């Protein structure tokens, strides 16, 4: 049986998925199930990591407070 570990990139993708689900108050499971992996020398890589978008207006308001 082959064993593989998550690369730093894949771990970052999992953390981004968690952050996105917390910000959007959504279920993380569909994002994780949708990950496509590739094996590299560093470990498993996520080919389609989630993108977290911040709204510019809410970001600016937090800085002003």
Structure tokens at 47: 């080919």
List pLDDT tens digits, range 1-37. Answer: 889 999 999 999 999 999 999 999 999 999 999 999 9
What proportion of the chain, given as a percentage, has pLDDT over 90?
A: 72
Confidence at 38, pLDDT banded by 50, 70, 90: very high
Domain positions in the chain are 1-51
Sign of CA dihedral 53, 58, 60, 65: negative
Distances (CA, A) of 46 to 21, 33, 64: 17, 12, 36
Structure tokens at 27: 């279920």
Helix (H, G, I), strand (E, B) or coil at 43: strand
């Amino acid at each position: 049986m082959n064993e593989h570990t998550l690369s730093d990139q894949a771990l970052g993708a999992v953390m981004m998925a968690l952050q996105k689900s917390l910000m959007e108050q959504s279920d993380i499971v569909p994002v994780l199930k949708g990950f496509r992996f590739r094996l590299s020398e560093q470990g498993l890589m996520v080919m389609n990591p989630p993108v977290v978008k911040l709204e510019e207006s809410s970001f600016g308001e937090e800085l002003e407070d």
